[in-house]
Amino acid sequence: MALIWITGFSGAGKTTVAKILQEKMTAAGSHAVLLDGDELRKALGYTQQYSRDERKQIAFKYAHLASLIAKQGIDVIVATISMFEEVRTWNRQNNASYFEVYIKVSEQERRARDPKKLYASGQDLVSEQSLYEEPQNPDVTFDEERKLSPEDMATIIQQSIFEL
Assess whether pLDDT exceeds 70 at residue 117.
no
Assess whether pLDDT exceeds 90 at residue 15.
yes
**What's the pTM value of the predicted model, to 2 decimals?**
0.89
pLDDT band at 125 (very low <50, low <70, confident <90, very high): low
Q: Contacts by 113-120 with C-beta closer than 8 Å and gap 24+?
A: 113/11, 113/13, 114/11, 115/11, 116/10, 116/11, 116/38, 118/10, 118/11, 119/11
User: Residue 126's pLDDT is what?
Assistant: 46
Assess whether pLDDT exceeds 50 at residue 132.
yes
Percent of the chain with pLDDT over 90: 66
- Tell me the mean pLDDT in the region 125-139: 77
Q: Do the Cβ atoms of 89 and 16 come closer than 8 Å?
A: no
Active site residues: 82
pLDDT band at 163 (very low <50, low <70, confident <90, very high): confident
Assess whether pLDDT exceeds 70 at residue 111.
no
Q: Residue 11: in which H helix or E strand, if any?
A: none
Interatomic CA distance for residues 67 and 75, integer angstroms: 10
- Please tell me the CATH code under which domain 3-161 is placed: 3.40.50.300
Q: Do the Cβ atoms of 87 and 63 come closer than 8 Å?
A: yes
Which letter does DSSP use for residue 7 in this model?
E
Assess whether pLDDT exceeds 60 at residue 36.
yes
DSSP calls for 63-82: HHHHHHHHTTT--EEEE---
